[in-house]
Amino acid sequence: MIYQGKSLSAKLLEDGIVEFTFDAQGSVNKFDQATFKEFIEVIQAINTCDEAKGVIVTSAKPAFLVGADITEFLETFKQPEEALIPWVKKASDVFDAFEDLNMPTIAAINGVALGGGCEMTLACDFRVADTKVSIGLPEVKLGLMPGFGGTVRLPRLIGADNAVEWMSTGKAHKAEQALAVGLLDAVVEPEQLRDAAISMLKQAIAGKLDWKAKRQPKLEPLQLSAIESVMTFSTCEGMIAAKAGKHYPAPMIMVKTIRNASTLDRTGAMACENAGFAKLAKTDAATAQIGLFMSDQVLKSKAKKASKQAVKAVNKAAVLGAGIMGGGIAYQSAYKGTPIVMKDINDQALDLGLSTAAGILTKQVERGRMNAKKMAGVLNNITPSLSYDSVKDVDVVVEAVVENPKVKGMVLAEVESILSEDAIVTSNTSTISIDLLAQSIKRPENFCGMHFFNPVHRMPLVEVIRGKDTSDETVAAVVAYAAKMGKSPIVVNDCPGFYVNRVLFPYFAGFSQLVLEGADFVAIDKVMEKQFGWPMGPAYLLDVVGVDTADHCTGVMSAGFPTRMKKLENDPVSTLYSNERYGQKNGKGFYDHGKDKRGRPSKVPAETAYELFAAQCADKKDFSSEEIIARLMIPMVNEVVRCLEEGVVDTAAEADMGLIYGIGFPPFRGGPIRYLETLGLENFIAMADKYAHLGEIYQVTDGLRNMAKAGKSYFTTDVKTA
């Protein structure tokens, strides 16, 4: 053993081969500051070992290297840009030093090599992977670009166009794909990996493989003619500008960095990368996207913990109500391996539920993501039934009938009466109190809400709603089932609208008030989509949700919060509802909905909507983008803060991910609390105070003011005691 650290070791094998092994104390290998320190020491140990003739890099974990330790990033990135450049250069210099070892090097890549893990392999002369490898540079998903030499080495190994595609999408690639573009030198079965890599390294030591020739292109400028350079980078920049847009700067800065570095040697190219990385590290998008990743880890960690704590396993499920929502729930459960009974009272509904599931599967087959055998297997996991007898032996029931408390109460009582004592009953409701529904059943401790979002197969979020009598065991089992379905569950406490709908309707109220004051709903949609980054503006979203549904929910929220969310007089949503304009479901709402010449959904602003609003709205008035954003977002953020303070949702991470996964809050903003903290609490309060006269939804809480005065963060503070 020539070196032994806590995460890294280097052992001299026969024939002068040094095995450099990553074996961190945790479950995965990753680059943190301590590992970098050991990395430097390993290089020094190899350089001073007279017997060393070649290096094989291996991992003692199931995954080679998962990248850098992101938890260190946010605090480090608070430094000024000029301080970040030498910080990242210090790290990239270590990879350069390893690449400069005066002997051949080879990476034996197993499992996963992402981010810094992939960059570690790029610093080697040769790369051999097992057949199960997933490799790539996903930094763009964090609002960053590779910072350990990835933008320099990858283009010189696989070509600039391939490298830009890899880095701008952030996709992980299979071994066969990496071999095809020239990143890998060989792919072997997992059990052959180490021997194959050692065999190749021995050939390089013996001079049968020219390792110096393999290394040289990574030290030189890109071999592109002037015309090739213009064609490659102009095309890449055009495609990235169209796809990424202005809210995601990382892909464009990354491709410009590669372009600027293309005529430089490694030293110059690395300097370009260091500067580009530091610039991106200071962007709001990077702060938000890194925060988003960390918040998602909170959800995954809680789901994993629930799975371990769950006393009852869910091996068979049932959904009551076989409409579009029921069919989507049935599909998701069956697709992820949990057989499910889909029960309804008529064949027509069952046909609709089955056709919903079959339609989703058919599209996957058409896109090559699934074969017919797999499709048949999923459909066989769904058992349609008109009888409660088929539900008797299930572990969990998801009630998804019409959104009516009396109907739901009756169905819940019926199904509970035929289930086993320990079976769990849930309700897929978006507005009805779980405590109210619990009055219809005899075992409220086994009952909770399980709120899916439509379309079920696309929307990641499930709200697990805890009633006052719901047991911890029930919550754990339902969270585990939701995670098993491939969803991201958050646990919320019962209240009107639960979490997502509760914070959405103040946003809609801000929108309605603007329309009443003369704002054009199309202009509002444009600002909230193009400027703020929502996937759809509020008017279009209301049409998609259903104007009738929104009007009903507004009534529920008004009853629950009579002072703060009192229904607006002449609310444009109610006006459309009373005139039977329900949105997409009947083709008319704020917009008239139809099909274009290619059969794709289309929408045009509805003249009828303008005519209906004219009688009750002020004369047309233009509002600035800043005011439109403030008037809609202040009410939403304020309500999110209230939900945290009241314990409706437990953490800022869950509050953020709930809106990102539930209603498409712009990811580059990181969620409502990350958005609040990016603005700055004091700045947000000043902005909100300008509109405080408009009503309670614009008035910030004392808790928020106290947080601002104390300089605290919602991500490190127990909000309920702040």
For residues 229-242, give the mean pLDDT: 84
R_g of the chain computed on alpha carbons: 29
**Strand-strand pairing, 134-136 and 173-174:** antiparallel
Residue (of 456, 480, 575, 469) closest to 521 by Cα position: 575
CATH, domain 312-496, list 3.40.50.620, 3.40.50.2000, 3.40.50.720, 3.30.428.10? 3.40.50.720
Query: Confidence band (pLDDT; 50, 70, 90) for 238?
Result: confident
Angle 244-250-253 from CA coordinates, rounded to 5°:
105
- Confirm if 126 and 146 have CB atoms less than 8 A apart: no
Q: With 60 as the cut, is the pLDDT of residue 720 above it?
A: no
Sequence ranges of the domains in the chain: 3-282, 312-496, 500-647+680-710
Q: With 90 as the cut, is the pLDDT of residue 290 above it?
A: yes
pLDDT of residue 225: 82
296 among annotated binding-site residues: yes
Cis peptide bond prior to 538, omega within 30° of 0: no
401 among annotated binding-site residues: yes
Q: What is the CATH T-level fold of the domain 500-647+680-710, as seen in this structure?
A: N-(1-d-carboxylethyl)-l-norvaline Dehydrogenase; domain 2 (1.10.1040)
Interacting residues of 59 by C-beta distance below 8 A, sequence separation 6+: 21, 22, 23, 29, 65, 108, 110, 111
588 among annotated binding-site residues: no
Q: With 60 as the cut, is the pLDDT of residue 240 above it?
A: yes
Is there a common fold for 3-282 and 500-647+680-710?
Answer: no
Q: With 80 as the cut, is the pLDDT of residue 718 above it?
A: no
pLDDT of residue 722: 45
CA distance to 118, 123, 222, per residue, from 144 (Å): 15, 20, 23
Interacting residues of 423 by C-beta distance below 8 A, sequence separation 6+: 394, 395, 396, 397, 416, 446
347 among annotated binding-site residues: no
For residues 444-459, give the mean pLDDT: 95
Q: What is the DSSP letter of 339?
A: -
For residues 258-286, give the mean pLDDT: 96
Give per-residue pLDDT as tens, 349-366: 999 999 999 999 999 999
- What is the DSSP secondary-structure string of 621-671? ----HHHHHHHHHHHHHHHHHHHHHHTSBS-HHHHHHHHHHHH---GGGTS
The widest CA-to-CA distance across the chain, in whole angstroms, is 90
Q: What share of the chain in percent tops pLDDT 90?
A: 89
For residues 631-654, give the mean pLDDT: 97
Query: Confidence band (pLDDT; 50, 70, 90) for 596?
Result: confident
For residues 161-172, give the mean pLDDT: 94
Angle 278-284-288 from CA coordinates, rounded to 5°:
110
Q: Retrieve residue 555's tokens.
A: 């009534």
For residues 20-49, give the mean pLDDT: 94
Q: What is the CATH T-level fold of the domain 3-282, as seen in this structure?
A: 2-enoyl-CoA Hydratase; Chain A, domain 1 (3.90.226)
Interacting residues of 289 by C-beta distance below 8 A, sequence separation 6+: 141, 142, 143, 667, 668, 670
403 among annotated binding-site residues: yes
335 among annotated binding-site residues: no
Residue (of 552, 577, 579, 573) closest to 617 by Cα position: 573
Q: What is the DSSP letter of 68?
A: B
For residues 540-566, give the mean pLDDT: 94
479 among annotated binding-site residues: no
Average pLDDT, the chain: 94
Separation of CA 85 from chain center: 29
- Confirm if 657 and 296 have CB atoms less than 8 A apart: yes
Q: With 80 as the cut, is the pLDDT of residue 719 above it?
A: no
Give per-residue pLDDT as tens, 319-337: 999 988 999 999 999 999 9
For residues 560-574, give the mean pLDDT: 94
pLDDT of residue 721: 44
Active site residues: 451
